[in-house]
Amino acid sequence: MIDYSKVLSPKVTAIAPSGIRKFFDIAATMDDVISLGVGEPDFQTPWQIRKAGINSLEKGKTKYTSNWGIGELREEISHYLLRKYNIEYNPDNEILVSVGGSEAIDACIRAVVSVGDEVIIPQPSFVCYEPITRLAGGTPVIIETKAENDFKLTPQQLKAAITDKTKVLVLPYPCNPTGAIMEKQDLEAIAEVLRDTNIIVLSDEIYSELTFGLKHTSFASINGMWERTVTVNGFSKSFSMTGWRLGFACGPKAIIEQITKIHQFAIMCAPTTSQYAAIEALKNCDEEVERMVKEYDMRRRLMVSGFNKIGLECREPKGAFYAFPSIKSTGMTSEEFCEKLLYSKKVAVVPGTAFGDSGEGFIRASYCYSTEHIKEAINRIGEFLNDK
Amino acid sequence: MKYEILKLLAKNARYSAEEMATMLGIEENEVKENIKVLEKDGLIRGYKTVVDWEKLDSAYVSAIIEIKVVPKAGLGFEEVAEKIMKYSEVESVYLMSGVYDLNVVVKGKTLQDIARFVAKELSTIDTVTSTTTHFVLRRYKEMDVELISENQDDRGQFWL
């Protein structure tokens, strides 16, 4: 009989399974649950993108592509990043097409982080940075961003977290789950702290198209930061292409070449059909994206106003597609709130603690739903608060 | 802003002025004023419900009728179109390009009702030279609303 505790890697077994998994499993078995839990768009991938994928299949484009991704796609990514965010990358050796933004994040951290290196991670944020850092042998250093700073990373916090072991700073903006964005002047202040260091910035800009009122600023576009930044982006959120699994990492050749080695041996290449579809997305879908952003914006206002009306303080999220209201006024913990809400009103939201301890006192509600759905969910949450 | 309001109402006529104001980031009164003007100017012609009548036992049948007419000097197609649209059986009337002139959607309780209406009323109009009747067998989508979809949300419900 194999003693599995002896054969499995302690690096992996030490990673705690998500504590809220159980809660989600309960929700999944209940009928008539109205969920604000998803983290992906409800829009279909625009038809012309799907069509481009189908056409590539009809033409028999079913083989591996270059490890780096199709040349034409890398060229389009290069044009896109210049046109949208004013950053320049050479398609020949500074852009790698990856399996979603997630793979790019993993490969980037593995390429840069050695045992004992510290990776600074602002939280609340997406859940992958911490475990990936640990798998690479690094040490996550958490910065708790604050509601009163609109969940932005401040230069003071960053300065205080930097040690001589700091290797990477993760910049997850626009931010899932807080909806925070970093404006140009915010990024410039961060850049000042980093300027004379060797710290590499992993800028996860997967929600870059989804900002409201303000255009997204890429960290690599800040004066002097290009050389230390790996920009990660992708097609999932901006073009409603989550299931296609396609993203990219861009940065200085010296880094991207190493990331590409990892990609080459672990993955070979990103899905071919998805790559052909993505060319169409970048070439001809600005209008579609604009239409979706407009729709998200209306839902966002409806949700934020709804939460505030029922008495849950909710700051205006400026990016991504989540509202992150405070539930502190209820006296409950985030998990307690979510569990009771699920059982009594059959509404599912995600406790803020799923995104780090600093998410305590908040819940994440996605507005990737129809306005009718959002209204119904908020009505029920309002009843829940009144029943207490 | 009028256009934005129209787009919202065209999608869901039951949005309240307050909801639309929130979604568009303007004052509720501005929405109300705009709607008043849109109604007065006849841009908004009415508010109706999209019904899936097939779910009801007393469903009705409808037909699309292609009509060829001889236009009258000076009056064009207006006279005959206005005559046809007055019938309560008629749901819509369009002037068409192509091989026929008017497209008329007619509804009735039974096929016979419609056949009778075409034979007795439409065909007997003196400028009408021919009619072709197509009965509707099934409705899949009506006024932008899909009538057959299940609307199952198959997304992973807790993807972080």
Per-residue pLDDT reduced to its tens digit, A231-286: 999 999 999 999 999 999 999 999 999 999 999 999 999 999 999 999 999 999 99
pTM (2 d.p.): 0.91
pLDDT of residue A20: 66
> Is residue B147 very low, low, confident or very high in pLDDT (cuts 50, 70, 90)?
confident
> Domain residues of chain A, as ranges?
4-45+287-387, 47-285
Contact A305 B157 (CB under 8 A): no
CA A113 to chain centre: 20
Locate tokens 């789950």: which residue?
A: A177
pLDDT of residue A30: 87
pLDDT of residue A31: 84
Tell me the chain A residues in contact with residue B25 when contact means C-beta distances shorter than 8 Å: 301
- The two tokens of residue B87 are 């019938």
For the A47-285 domain, the top CATH level (class) is alpha beta
What is the rounded distance in angstroms from the CA atom of residue A133 to the CA atom of residue A125? 14
Residue B122 near residue B97 (C-beta atoms within 8 A): no
Query: For residue B86, with 0-12 CB atoms within 10 Å meaning exposed, 13-18 middle and 19 or more buried, which class applies?
Result: exposed
What is the rounded distance in angstroms from the CA atom of residue A206 to the CA atom of residue A233? 4
pLDDT of residue B72: 79
Residue A133 near residue A109 (C-beta atoms within 8 A): yes
Helix axes A272-284, A71-85, angle to 10 degrees: 40
Say whether residue B3 is in contact with chain A using an 8 A CB cutoff. Answer: no
pLDDT of residue B64: 97
Supply the CATH classification number for the domain A4-45+287-387: 3.90.1150.10
**Of A273 and B71, which is predicted with more confidence?**
A273
Nearest CA in chain A to B160: A39
What is the rounded distance in angstroms from the CA atom of residue A170 to the CA atom of residue A230? 10
CB pairs < 8 Å spanning A and B: 56
Locate tokens 């300065």: which residue?
A: A159
pLDDT at B119 over 90: yes
Say whether residue A127 is in contact with chain B using an 8 A CB cutoff. Answer: yes
Query: For residue B140, with 0-12 CB atoms within 10 Å meaning exposed, 13-18 middle and 19 or more buried, which class applies?
Result: exposed
Query: For residue A124, with 0-12 CB atoms within 10 Å meaning exposed, 13-18 middle and 19 or more buried, which class applies?
Result: buried
What is the rounded distance in angstroms from the CA atom of residue A96 to the CA atom of residue A260? 7
CA A190 to chain centre: 20
3-state secondary structure at position B28: helix
Contact A301 B156 (CB under 8 A): no
Residue A207 near residue A320 (C-beta atoms within 8 A): yes
* Angstroms from A38 CA to nearest CA on chain B: 5
Q: Which of A21, A23, A24 to mutate to test the interface with B (most CBs of B within 10 A)?
A: A24
* Angstroms from A348 CA to nearest CA on chain B: 9
- Residue A121's nearest CA partner among A61, A189, A171 is A171
- Which residue ranges of chain A lie beneath pLDDT 70? 18-20
pLDDT of residue A90: 98
Tell me the pLDDT tens digit for each residue of A112-137. 999 999 999 999 999 999 999 999 99
Backbone angles phi, psi at A38, to 5 degrees: -70, 155
Say whether residue A350 is in contact with chain B using an 8 A CB cutoff. Answer: yes
What is the rounded distance in angstroms from the CA atom of residue B20 to the CA atom of residue B27? 9
Tell me the pLDDT tens digit for each residue of A131-169. 999 999 999 999 999 999 999 999 999 999 999 999 999
Tell me the chain A residues in contact with residue B156 when contact means C-beta distances shorter than 8 Å: 38, 40
Span B36-42, mean pLDDT?
96
Residue A129 near residue A289 (C-beta atoms within 8 A): no
**Three-class secondary structure assignment of A305-321:** HHHHHCCCCCCCCCECC
Q: Which of A20, A296, A305 to mutate to test the interface with B (most CBs of B within 10 A)?
A: A305
Q: Which of A20, A298, A372 to mutate to test the interface with B (most CBs of B within 10 A)?
A: A298
Strand pairing partners for A143?
A122
Residue A367 near residue A41 (C-beta atoms within 8 A): no
DSSP line for A153-174: PPHHHHHHH--TTEEEEEE--S
- As for the ipTM of the complex, it is 0.81
Q: A20: Cβ–Cβ under 8 A, 6 or more apart, which residues?
A: A335, A338, A350, A351, A353, A354, B158
pLDDT of residue B160: 66
Across the interface, which of A38, A127, A375 has its CB nearest the CB of B157?
A38
- Residue A145's nearest CA partner among A311, A358, A371 is A358
pLDDT of residue A19: 59
